[in-house]
Every structure is written in structure tokens, then in C-alpha cells.
Chains A and B, each alone.
Chain A
Amino acid sequence: MSDGLEFLTVEPASDPVARREIVDLLASCGLDYEKQIEFFVTARQEGRLVACAGFEKGIIKDVAICQTLRGSAISLRLVSEVTYLAHSQGYQILFVYTEPHNADFFLGCGFYPLVEVPGQTALLENTPVGIKNYCASLAHYKVEADKIGCVVANANPFTLGHLYLITEAAKSCDWLHLFIVKEDASLFSYHDRFMLAKEMTKDIPNLTLHGGSKYMVSRATFPAYFFKDKGMVGQCRTAVDLLLFRKYIAPALGVTHRFVGTEPFCDTTRKYNNDMKFWLQEPSSIAHSIEVVELERTKRSGIAVSASEVRRLLAGGNFEKIKEFVPKPTFDLIMNKYATSV
């Protein structure tokens, strides 16, 4: 190339020299280096690092281009290179978080807007049909009725608390859509979590069980849920996920109510519940508001039943106590898979 640019993929964990340069370049652009990023596509000119773009499990992060080269074609090559890198690792759909005023940069690189938290962050994906096709697939399960409820649960693992919430929600609605978070970043695998939910809800007649997706409580939409010490700052930690739900998923299924249990233990989940009331109910032009119904957690022996409590008991090997909090299939699974490893 006549511009003398050399592109190279580096793994910062095993290349401290390159990592140092990346950290410096990011700092000069006002960005923090995120150490969990596995790969960086780097561009060098006359040996000097002039641009980089990080890639971590389907999400592009830490994109920086040195001042003098901004507005040049380097950005398009950089994004092309990242796309091929992602493709080689099996990631087709890529997400990027950016400040809203930088979104235009990505719109020119084959990205399309999903949601924007005004003044804070925008989430984009690199396909014009990703969310559209997903919603079209959901729409097959749409039930026409007045009161359509939705529960989104990680169910890590499925407890009597989930059973209570889902049963009560189903009773108060014409139809209930239950989603199990798909991201495999929890103690219990997605497969196990889904199968337990299926087993436990099979007798509820007005319920559809859905697998989760990358558009709902996923690494892409809600990184702070899985990496509780990190993530974006302030309000926008949960806003992106909730706005996606309100703008795309709820309309596809005609959801009018979203049900959650009160959260006594986990700060992240508690914040998510509180933010839910704001982002789903606040009047907005982007989509109809969705009523948030918070149900008091069911208790056993005076303690609120929650999955985080079960995991805490599991870590302590307190199986007798767990038995009080979970239905039999969950308990059997715990005894089978986890009792020996504790």
C-alpha cells in the first residue's frame, strides 16, 4: 500500500511491548485500556503504532486512531480487518459501543444503530437485518391479548423463587413469555438452566419458553451483569439492555408487563430492577411504555429465595439448606454435578 500502513493482529496478554504502545495510544485518545480484550488489530506507519481496534467475543472495543490520521481511509481498513478477524473466530455479528457523537464513524463502516442512551452511549451492530430478523422470529410466538407478560431470568440455578415469580406472573396475565438468558458466563450452563426451566414450567398452560439471545441480557447488551466489577459507568450500564427490550423485543411479542422479583442480595440485579422502572416506564417517543411489576420474593425459613443465595450455599457446601430453596430437579442436578466437586 502506498500509505505504508501495516496491519497486524496482536494478543496483548502475550505481547507486553505492543500492549504498552496500545495503552499509550488509547490514553492519548482519552480511552482506558481494557485488559480483558483478547485481540487488537493494530496499524503501524513507519514502525509507529497509529491505530488500533480491540475485539473481545463479538464486541469491538477500544478503537483509537491517532489524531493526524483521523478522517483518512485508515478507519475503513481497520474495521475491515477486525471483521475478518472476528469471522475467523466464528463471530458473524459484531457489536460496538461508542459515544453517540462518534456513531457516524461506524455508520460509514457497515454498522447500523440499535439503541442510544442520549449523551452517554450508543450500541450498533454490523448488519442491517440482525435485530429485524430476530424480532421476526419472535413474532411467530405473538399472542393477541390484553395483558402479555414477560419474565427474563438467568435462573442460575432455577429456584422456588423463580417458580413463584413465573407462576404468579402467569396467573395475572393472558399470556407469559419466559426468556432464559443465553450467555454461558454463569456457574450453571445455559443448557442446564434452560432444561430446568422447561421442566419446571411445562404445566403452565399460558406460557411460552424462549431461549435467550444476544439482544437480551448478554455480554453485548449488559456486560456489567456478567463482569460485575467492570462495565460502563453510571446509568448506561443497564439502559442499553432495557431500551433494546422496549424498542424491539416487547413490540415483537406485544409485551405489556414485565415481571421481576425484589432483589435482596445482588446489587447488580437490584439496580437492574430499579433502572427497569425508569427505562421501561418513562414516557418516550421510541416505543410504548411497559409496566414493571415487582413481586415480593417468596421466603423459606425467613430468608428470601434467590439464586445468588443458592450459589453462596453451594460454595459453602450447605446442601441441606439448598434443598429448601430449589425444586427437586434443580436439587438433583446440583447433587449430580456439583456435590462431588465441593
Chain B
Amino acid sequence: MQIIQEALAGTLESSDLFVRVSPSEGPLELILNSEVQHQFGDQIRKVAQETFAKLGVSEGATVIIEDKGALDCVIEARLEAALLRAAGDKSVEWETLS
């Protein structure tokens, strides 16, 4: 999947996360800022990498996450939404995503 535009998802509220995806040149870059970085930083990165792999995003994007202590399922959902928006995909079959 190719990232063609800037996109946002989520909020900065507690237990949520704010995701900003922008097109870039070069490898995929993930920048994580989390209130629970010390305890869950690695886990959040793992969820993010799995989501990138699932959607086939491996380059050409910068992904910035401002996490406010979201659960894994929320992180995955917000990331998916942001990446699909950033890919300009209007024909998403949301039901098939799991």
C-alpha cells in the first residue's frame, strides 16, 4: 500500500492515541511518544509493525504516534484508519478488516 497524502486518526484523550501519517522518501519511520513508553513502548511498536505488515506498508511514510495509554486493539484500529486514509483508499471494506 502506498502512502500518498497526510492523514490523521484518533484523539489526544486519555486511553486513545493520535496518529499522523505523512508521505516521505525512504524507509518507513515510526516515531512514538507515549505516556507509558517505559512500560509498554516495545509492545506498542510491535502492534504498529504488525499493522504495517498487514497493510503492506514498508516504505515512503512517516508515522507519528502520540499515545495516551491506548489498548492494543485501539492502537491497531487507529493506525489502520490513518494508513488507509493516507493511502487515499475510498473503497475500504471495513468488515473484512479484523
Interface residue ranges, A against B (CB under 8 Å) = 73, 76-77, 79-80, 83-84, 87, 92, 109-110, 127-129
Instruction: Give Cα A80 to B66, complex, Å.
Output: 11
**CA A83 – CA B9 in complex, angstroms?**
10
Q: A76-B14, A128-B31, A128-B33 provided; 9 other pairs, C-beta below 8 A?
A: A73-B14, A76-B12, A80-B11, A80-B12, A83-B8, A92-B6, A109-B12, A127-B20, A127-B64
- 30 A/B residue pairs, CB under 8 Å, sorted by A: A73-B13, A76-B11, A76-B12, A76-B14, A77-B11, A77-B13, A79-B12, A80-B11, A80-B12, A80-B13, A80-B18, A83-B18, A84-B8, A87-B8, A92-B6, A92-B20, A92-B22, A110-B12, A110-B18, A110-B33, A110-B66, A127-B20, A127-B64, A128-B31, A128-B33, A128-B64, A129-B29, A129-B31, A129-B62, A129-B64
A243: shortest Cβ distance to chain B, in Å? 24
Q: Which B residues have a C-beta under 8 Å from some C-beta of A?
A: 6, 8, 11-14, 18, 20, 22, 29, 31, 33, 62, 64, 66, 68
Residues of B close to A80: CB separation below 8 A: 11-13, 18
Q: Count of A-B contacts with CB under 8 A?
A: 37
Q: Please measure, in the bound complex, the distance between the C-alpha atom of A83 and the C-alpha atom of B11, giving whole angstroms.
A: 9
A128, B22: Cα distance in complex, Å: 13
- Minimal Cβ-Cβ distance residue in A for B22: A92
Say whether A76 contacts B68, CB under 8 Å.
yes
